[in-house]
Structure 1
Amino acid sequence: MSAPELRFDPVSPDYFANPYEIYQRMRDEAPIYYDEELDFYALTRHADVAAALKDHEAFSSSRGCDLAMVRRPEGPPKSIIFMDPPEHRHMRSLLNKAFTPRAIQSQRETIVELVEHYLSQVDPDHFDVVQDFSGPFPVEVITRMAGVPEEFRQQCRHWIDKGLERAPGQIELSEEAMQANIDSGVYYYGLVQERRAQPQDDMISRLIAAEIPGDNGEMRRLDDVEIAGFAALLGGAGAETVTKLVGSAVVEFARHPEQWQMLLDDRSLLPAAVEELLRYVGPVQYNVRWTLKEAHVPSGTIPAGKPVFLLQAAANRDPRAFDDGEKFDITRDRTQAQNLGLGYGIHSCLGAALARLETSIALEHLLDFMPRYEVDADGLEKVHMQNVAGYHHVPVRVLR
């Protein structure tokens, strides 16, 4: 019996349920995949995806990061992830100041406090790892850094979730998703104006005071729309990544209890475990780029003027790059290939070190809280989102 036709549909129910089966076929059968109906390309092999992520002159970010955005002639809202150099370089150097190693380590106490707070609220006999724990705490960390008052921090998370949601078969934003993005933008815009009037010791106030080179080479200040966009982006990226990664971690360790036991026996393996989770079940599945000119990767050529899916999650399981790439192994040799879980090249994740720290602290506390546990497999519910994969619900019971 012949295999079914190879079709990559980023909003199909099958893709949302398990993208890794289609990734395997694409890597083997169509490393430069082309979709005639929607006129896009997709790269899945590690060498190709890594090359494209590094080649901003051919693979542009300026039209957006998902298919609907890239196809719109008016382009995306102004944001650092939708910029190419030199504009991107100026913004990146400005925002990097908020994520220095010292700045990240200064958040450790806050992260521990929040992790302990949310774990103390749950019922060990039945709780939802995502809804009760990994959803609420990361957004508190990043929005507190930005300067969002406490009463609005969880609302920011709900806007993010709704804005990324995609029903099966739906490439364009729904009205609800669009409204969530508008509400989020309006809120952050108002907050920027408040901070202009009354600066505080937070990221938004520092962005208001900062200057970057303008198009004419002269220094300029950021406007309210730019700052609101950055704040919304940081809130989204900072919340989604850790929320999904910790939820997926609990599921994977339930499927691989011997790996969980390794962590129970040796906590020094935690950083390696976080890296393997980012490789194996990283929350960011892909980014879409636009080819400004004919683009070349090891597997071949892509014409100019086309959307291209750079499928980082597929590349991270490529057996050409990682021995036994489909196996979850926290002790694997991490020098074999670049982990693309938090990006690569100029658009690698700004808050990568913060995400790693939060995930490591969360896992350390979960090891203490539930050294033995079981996941209610029937209650698992995956998200249906653009770019992002993970779970909406992970019901768990602690075993005594």
Structure 2
Amino acid sequence: MTTSKLVFDPFSEEYFNSPWEIYRRMREEAPVYYNEEQDFYALSRHADVAAAFKDWETFSSAYGLDLAMVKSGEPLPMKMIILMDPPEHRQMRSLVNKVFTPRAIANLKPMVIETIDQCFRAADPGHFDVVQEFSAFFPVEVITRMLGVPEERRQQVRQWVDTSLHREPGQVEMSQEGLQAIAEAMGLYYELIQQRRAEPQDDMFTRLVQAEIQREDGQMESLDDFEIAGFATLLGGAGAETVTKLIGNAAVTFAQNPDQWQKLLDDRSKIPAAVEELLRYEAPAQYNVRRSMKEVTLHGVTIPEGKPVFLLGGSANRDPEAFTDADTFDIDRDRTEAQNLGFGYGVHSCLGAALARMESAIALERLLDFMPRYEVIWDDCRRVAMQNVAGWSHVPVRVLR
């Protein structure tokens, strides 16, 4: 029996469609994987990925979000919290934590419910695309409304995000259309920042304009327009994509595991646990890319300084050394076994995790009401081909009455 050569190509159609067998082989055969063609390394085991997420001094975020950025070897001028290491990151994070307080999240619940219910009021009760008619729509409405984006521009933000993340198979660099989309989003945010400086409102742009942070030299300073626009770009992207993909994945995963859907129908109190298991089983963000800041040896393989390193959270969350029956979707599993890396870990754990959990729980609750029995129209399902994001662009279902 001959075994094919192990290839982890994060830009291949095989990876976009189903990375799980690739991940299994990496964990078993090459826990520190090296891709000669693209000159990057990848960590796939839970213990290694979790440790690397926490070790920002060895695995830096300051060089970019993706392979193309990190390979350039230059720290990025963009002032985005996801592109910072401590102590600068700590200062910005403390500011953001003031915005994402538990009370602030709780206060958003009526607005989230209203936005979600609006989708179902317009839905065909017999035939429904869970992504196109629902999960692609409401998360960006919520996050952009929080920011202070006018209603007529909110869905445009989602289109810009999708364009910037899209990758055709084999495409490493962002497309010209993607670069243009980011430029247009930044232009909108600059415009709104200027308006809030002149006329404050009750939104996040106003709070960021009025906020002060302590710089490294101890001085208190306001954020500049570039920092606020960068933060809004990050928040708009993450806020739009994570829940969109999570709920699309939910419809597919529960269709494949109808006994788990029945558990939710029988006991709605299991919904928060179901959200956690969805995050573990098929996280919307499958990997993060870091830069090695010094030589490091793991499992007999030395990663030189200055190399891109993929931290495969999606693989780590399916590691049988961390989770019992890791490839089984089980909403009742023991959550104390290992850290769920679906929202990252360490200093860069997801800023909006509490909001995303709340949105996802409400969305599942409404799906249980709307389609207690359903079947997925598999031939019409379509997966996305995106930078580090896994999920579906189309999940049409037939509601069974």
**Normalising TM by the smaller chain, what interval?**
over 0.9
Contact 2:91 2:215 in 1 (8 A): no
1:136 equivalenced with 2:134 (yes/no): no
Give the superposition deviation at 1:176: 1.0
Distance 2:294 2:72 in 1: 18
Amino acid at match of 2:224: D
* 1:287/1:309 contact within 8 Å kept: yes
What SS does structure 1 have at the residue aligned with 2:338?
Answer: coil
Query: Could you tell me how far apart the structure 2 residues matched to 1:220 and 1:298 are?
Result: 45
CA distance in 2 between partners of 1:107 and 1:60 (Å):
33
1:207-246 CA-to-partner distances (Å, cap 9, x unmatched) read: 1111112243211111101101101111110110000000
Equivalent in the alignment of 2:124: 123
Relative distance call for 1:349 and 1:297 in structure 2 (3 A) is farther
**CA contact 1:318–1:325 (8 Å) conserved in 2:** yes
| 1:104 equivalent in structure 2 | 105
The residue type paired with residue 143 of structure 2 is I
3-state DSSP of counterpart to 1:42: strand
Partner residue of 1:226?
A: 227
Once the two structures are TM-superposed, the CA of residue 172 in structure 1 deviates from its matched residue by 0.3
1:22-101 equivalence runs, <5 A: 22-76=22-76, 77-101=78-102
TM-aligned CA deviation for residue 71 of structure 1: 1.4
Instruction: Identify which range, 119-128 or 320-329, moves more after superposition.
Output: 119-128
For the residues of structure 2 that align with 1:6 and 1:120, how far apart are their CA atoms? 48
Listed one character per residue, the Cα deviations across residues 124-154 of structure 1 (whole Å, up to 9, x for unaligned) are 2222111100011011111111111111111
3-state secondary structure, aligned to 1:355: helix
Q: How does 1:331-350 map to 2 (within 5 A)?
A: 331-350=332-351
Letter of the 2:335 partner, please give it: R
Q: Name 2:7's counterpart in structure 1.
A: 7
State how far apart, in whole Å, the 1-side matches of 2:52 and 2:309 are. Answer: 9
Q: In the aligned structure 2, how far is the partner of 1:325 from the partner of 1:300?
A: 26
**Structure 2: distance between partners of 1:332 and 1:62:** 36
After TM superposition, the score normalised by the length of structure 2 is: 0.98
| 1:167 maps onto 2:157 in alignment | no
Cα distance in structure 1, aligned partners of 2:377 and 2:253:
13
Runs of 4+ with >4 A deviation? 296-301
Deviation at 1:78, TM superposition (A): 2.1
State the AA in 2 paired with 1:24: R
CA distance in 1, matches of 2:351, 2:296: 26
TM-score, L = length of structure 1: 0.98
Q: Given that residues 62 and 83 in structure 1 are in contact (C-alpha distance below 8 angstroms), is that contact kept between their aligned partners in structure 2?
A: yes
Q: Quote the residue 2:388 is aligned against.
A: 387
Shift of the 306–194 alpha-carbon distance from structure 1 to 2, 3 Å rule, reads: same
Once the two structures are TM-superposed, the CA of residue 296 in structure 1 deviates from its matched residue by: 5.1
Q: Matched residues, percent identical?
A: 65
Output the CA distance in 2 between the equivalents of 1:115 and 1:169. Answer: 36
Counterpart of 1:318?
Answer: 319
**Aligned partner of 1:200: which letter?**
Q
Q: Are 1:371 and 2:381 matched, yes or no?
A: no
The count of corresponding residues between Structure 1 and Structure 2 is: 400
In the other structure, the counterpart of 2:21 is 21
Structure 1 residues 183, 29: closer, same or farther in 2, change over 3 A?
same
Distance apart, 1:74 and its partner CA? 4.4
> Structure 2: how far apart are the matches of 1:340 and 1:360?
18
Which residue identity is paired with 1:90? Q
- Relative to structure 1, the CA distance from residue 299 to residue 124 in structure 2 (aligned partners, 3 Å threshold; closer, same or farther) is farther
Q: Which runs of no fewer than 5 residues in structure 2 stay unpaired?
A: none
Q: Is the 8 A contact 1:242 1:359 kept in 2?
A: yes
Q: Is the 8 A contact 1:342 1:349 kept in 2?
A: yes
Matches within 5 A, 1:196-275: 196-275=197-276
Structure 1, unpaired ranges of 5+: none
Q: C-alpha separation between the residues in 2 aligned to 1:267 and 1:4?
A: 45
Stretch moving more, 183-192 or 159-168: 183-192
Whole-angstrom distance in 2 between the partners of 1:108 and 1:233: 22
1:40 Cα shift?
Answer: 0.5
User: Secondary structure at the residue paired with 2:388?
Assistant: coil
Local SS of the residue matching 2:393: strand
Q: 1:217 to 1:297 in 2, by over 3 A?
A: farther
